[in-house]
Structure 1
Amino acid sequence: MPLTIHNLNHQIHDGHIERWLLTRVSLNIAPGECVALTGDSGSGKTTLLNLIAGLEPLQQGQIYVAGQGLRHAGDKTLSQLRRQTLAMIFQHYNLLSSLNVSDNISFSARLAGRYDQSHSLSLARNLGIDHLLDHYPDTLSGGEMQRVAIARALGTRPKLLLADEPTGNLDNNNSDKVIEQLLSLAKSHHSALLMVTHSASIAGKMDKIYQLKDGQLNQQSCGG
């Protein structure tokens, strides 16, 4: 299983008060399964992604990424996990301005020791950016930069893909195209996808929808 969360509790300091941001959160995502994570601002969605990525320490409960427990994992293990097993897609792309599109796409795969030129070219073709490989990020549109970010994330063939509002800066037309391509590629590569989104239409395209409210995760109907 790419992702298993078991009985996760997480406390934060809110001013002078300590409160439970996450309580008894459990979740399983299978290979190739695409899951939307919704909820109000401040409900803990980004914190949950950071916990899954090993960017914040676990307080109570356990998270397994491709069978690796994170609770007692050291920095070296977590770093290797982020290179080899999971990938993240950010709202603001995080492309390297000094590298062209081709090198941005291959960057994470090279770090993981998994660079495959034919795989990178295939991703670029599938995402419609193969004509931009020699271009630099500052010459690209928002939709083009997000496609580069998706190609970079999938270049390592991750078992788990985390996306935090990946189309938040795009218009509806570009957003729909990017989401369709991302879902198609996640399915074809058998990558589990967990995406934070405020968009009901985007969430409705997923296999499952979960809402984070009052610290708890509740499954919603994809039909509305």
Structure 2
Amino acid sequence: MRHSGDEIPTRHEAGPVTFAWGARLRDECWRALDPRVRDRLHQHAGEVICWWAADDPAVGRPSATVFGSRELCFATPSFDGERPVHLISGYLLDPASSRTYRIDPAQTSEAGLRSGENMHEVDIGLPEEVRGMLGNLPPRAQTLLQGPFTGGRHVESHGWHYEGDERTLNFFALYLAGAESITMATGTKSAPTRDPGGPAQWNLICRQARVIGHRGF
């Protein structure tokens, strides 16, 4: 189902979103965007799968990320002279190449743990902060996100967004993008109900798609 311009809130960001009091959530940041920017993101993305928006502290205006069937696209705040604008860029995708994998708390296994650990030994161009974020995810998710970038196909762009608190995330998204592939994980995290000290319970959908072009890079 395609969302209308007022239904999508989102954010492109190369680092973590803090749990600071007073931070605007994605819905409010999305509504703060110029309607023409929202419309362009919808038009480029195709059928919307995931999105987020958040304030960019460097300019005091929101940026946005929309991942759809045709494109992973970004709206980055900038200036045209003194006039505030948003620059639109994106990775064009082959819809026929899209693959989807569901991960729930029951899918943690010894084989999956070995797979996730092995991926950390492969250099795919990730900075330490991204490797740390990936390390919070189930091993199967780590493998699905990083797998398409082995063999010299390094990650050239990454970002994530989450909303919630230390125990519960009611929205989580992380993407990795390269010249040939995009991977994305979306979902939620909750603390275990019976064992507060146990591992977090993730419900995720991981997606992979082939890149066929670029916009605005």
Scaled to the shorter chain, the TM-score interval is under 0.3
Which has the larger share of helix?
A: 1
Which has the larger share of strand?
A: 2
Which structure would you say has the larger RCO, counting Cα contacts within 8 Å and 6 or more residues apart? 1
TM-score relative to the length of structure 1: 0.25
TM-score relative to the length of structure 2: 0.26
